[in-house]
Chains A and B, each alone.
Chain A
Amino acid sequence: MPKVAYLDNAASTKTDPKVVEAMLPYFNEKYGNASSLHSKGLEAKEALDRARKTIAKSINAKSEEIIFTSGGTESDNFAIKGIAFANKQMGNHIITTSIEHKAILNTCKWLETQGFETTMLPVDNEGFVSPEELEKAITDKTILLSVIHGNSEIGTIQDLQALGEVCKKHKVYFHTDACQSYTKAGIDVKKQNLDLVTINSHKIHGPKGVGALYVKQGVKITPLFHGGDHEFKLRAGTENIPGIVGFAEAVKLASKKDIERITKLRDKLIEGVLKIPGTRLNGPRGEKRLCNNTNFSFMGVEGESIGGYLNLKSICSSTGSACSEALLEPSKVLMAIGLTHEEANGSLRLTISKFTTEEEIEAVLKELPPIIKKLRRMSPIDKVVKHVLPKNN
């Protein structure tokens, strides 16, 4: 089996060996419960406090504003349901966007069965939410805006500050899901007027099963889990100390240098893939795109098949094609930026990390063009053959 080129880092990342090393003592040496009052408990409590401080600092928050959770989905549920139920007397209207993760969309859908109303803001053809559209959507019943910071599919990075100003003006709570952007694009809760921020560990080379929600001091929120007094009484349950220590270590290891390197690899990949005829890049270019995200559509071919052939060449990718979904509907994000069903069905997402090598990018650029060519030859769609493929190709 040749070496795998792993280009699905938006799905999950390799845990950094340094993170694993930092976690190890917390399994069989410093295994105490952070709530216990003895020496073993104290060791765990100290590690918990240190980790909390590291993470708080990374987004310009206070330690007491970081609530550890089991990951992005829990943090999103906690933010949306927690605000909704704690602020019922203020209103029942939640605003979100048409390009959110399912953890937001399905939470909002469920809240609709509980008497809440949601508005989904449209986005432009690069996936940006407009502050003017937001302002128009706000009513006197609006309690919360939730917007994904860095989009998981097309990499669009929202202007949180501009959206935050609108929220501040209208006294609407502002939540962002920053799972994809955390440590990659700047989050400053004060500057961006954020009340709630979802972050997680396994997208940044930390372990799975741990994340956090930033909850600004004074924000009225109801916990999801009831039980002990953990996490400032906002999230009951014995803290996952090895996971939390690993999460903080991953944050410490994130560097500007890595971002610069990843950005270069991204742009090399984009440039190379766009040389294939009949290909488009989905999402914006440059600084407003997540440094590790690429997403393409290939005319006349179906995304799952591309992924299937790439996998045979030991390249891991992802698609927004209808075929990859149980409901056989293409990605809502790709449809929201105005792609046709055909374009969305022909999409391929390749996402990079600090562990991605130049060779892995080159492997994609070598293997992908013949795969697209082969699939187009298999395809009965005439327009592809006629318009996209040069003669004698």
Chain B
Amino acid sequence: MYSQKIIEHFTKPKYVGEMDNADGVGQVGNPRCGDVMKIFIKVNNGVIKDIRFQTYGCIAAIAASDMVCELVKGKKLDDALKVTPQDVASQLGDMPPIKFHCSILGMSALKEAVDDYRKKSEK
């Protein structure tokens, strides 16, 4: 059911973990539905310098979280937000259609983290 790429990111996620002193944190989802994603970002000069995730969810959810991190790390905030769920899914190979929402959730968590950062830096 899953592509080799999804299994790779599920088995060996590079960006999993908590981050101390994150500049922005975003969490979306609900354990009721089976997916909760949390993304931590470190921002320097408007660029995502470091990123980590924690995910409660299925194989696709974990793989999509890791892929979101991989795709946006090193990008300017505005460019990072231009990444689409479709980009996440296609980078993972064949995402089963019923799992596409995992990519959406991953990008929503990132957006929340960026919003959190922006809110904090306005103060």
A interface residues with partner B (beta carbon < 8 Å): 300-302, 304-305, 308-309, 312, 321-324, 326, 328, 330, 340-342, 345, 378-381
In the complex, which of the residues B11, B34, B101 contacts A302, with contact meaning CB atoms closer than 8 Å?
B34
Cross-chain contact A378 with B31 (CB below 8 angstroms): no
B35: A residues at CB distance < 8 A: 302, 323
B10: A residues at CB distance < 8 A: 305, 308
The 10 closest A-B pairs by CB, nearest first: A323-B58, A380-B38, A380-B54, A304-B58, A341-B32, A379-B56, A322-B34, A308-B59, A345-B34, A342-B31
Within 8 A of A (CB), among B61-108: 61-62, 98-99, 101
Cross-chain contact B55 with A380 (CB below 8 angstroms): yes
Task: Knowing A312-B11, A322-B33, A380-B36 are in contact, say whether A328-B56 is a contact too (CB < 8 A).
Answer: no
Cross-chain contact A381 with B57 (CB below 8 angstroms): no
8 A-B pairs with CB atoms under 8 Å apart are A301-B56, A302-B34, A302-B56, A305-B10, A305-B58, A308-B7, A345-B32, A378-B16
Cross-chain contact B57 with A328 (CB below 8 angstroms): no
Cross-chain contact A302 with B58 (CB below 8 angstroms): yes
A345: B residues at CB distance < 8 A: 31-32, 34
In the assembled complex, how far is the CB of residue A169 from the closest CB belonging to chain B, in whole angstroms?
A: 42
A380: B residues at CB distance < 8 A: 27, 36-38, 54-56
Cross-chain contact A341 with B31 (CB below 8 angstroms): yes
Name which residue of chain A comes closest to B38, CB basis. A380
Name which residue of chain A comes closest to B10, CB basis. A308
Majority-rule SS of B interface residues: mixed
A345 and B33 alpha carbons, distance in the complex (Å): 8
Name which residue of chain A comes closest to B30, CB basis. A341
A305 and B55 alpha carbons, distance in the complex (Å): 11
Task: Knowing A308-B10, A326-B98 are in contact, say whether A342-B58 is a contact too (CB < 8 A).
Answer: no
Interface contacts (Cβ under 8 Å), in number, total 71
B interface residues with partner A (beta carbon < 8 Å): 7, 10-11, 13, 16, 27, 31-38, 54-62, 98-99, 101
A381 and B101 alpha carbons, distance in the complex (Å): 20
Name which residue of chain A comes closest to B63, CB basis. A308
Cross-chain contact B36 with A323 (CB below 8 angstroms): no
Cross-chain contact A378 with B62 (CB below 8 angstroms): yes
Cross-chain contact B98 with A381 (CB below 8 angstroms): no
In the assembled complex, how far is the CB of residue A361 from the closest CB belonging to chain B, in whole angstroms?
A: 24
A379 and B13 alpha carbons, distance in the complex (Å): 13
A302: B residues at CB distance < 8 A: 34-35, 56-58, 61
In the assembled complex, how far is the CB of residue A114 from the closest CB belonging to chain B, in whole angstroms?
A: 30
In the assembled complex, how far is the CB of residue A324 from the closest CB belonging to chain B, in whole angstroms?
A: 8
- A301, A312, A326, A328: most-surrounded residue (chain B CB, <10 A): A328
A128 and B56 alpha carbons, distance in the complex (Å): 31
Cross-chain contact B59 with A304 (CB below 8 angstroms): yes
Cross-chain contact A305 with B11 (CB below 8 angstroms): no
Cross-chain contact A328 with B34 (CB below 8 angstroms): yes
In the assembled complex, how far is the CB of residue A306 from the closest CB belonging to chain B, in whole angstroms?
A: 10
B54: A residues at CB distance < 8 A: 378-380
B31: A residues at CB distance < 8 A: 341-342, 345, 381
Name which residue of chain A comes closest to B96, CB basis. A326
Name which residue of chain B comes closest to A383, CB basis. B31
Task: Knowing A312-B11, A323-B61, A326-B98 are in contact, say whether A379-B34 is a contact too (CB < 8 A).
Answer: no
Q: 10 additional contacts, CB 8 Å, given A341-B31, A379-B55?
A: A304-B59, A305-B10, A305-B57, A323-B58, A323-B59, A324-B58, A342-B32, A345-B31, A378-B55, A380-B54
Cross-chain contact A323 with B11 (CB below 8 angstroms): no
A322: B residues at CB distance < 8 A: 33-34
Cross-chain contact A381 with B56 (CB below 8 angstroms): yes
In the assembled complex, how far is the CB of residue A393 from the closest CB belonging to chain B, in whole angstroms?
A: 15
Task: Knowing A323-B57, A378-B16, A380-B38 are in contact, say whether A305-B33 is a contact too (CB < 8 A).
Answer: no
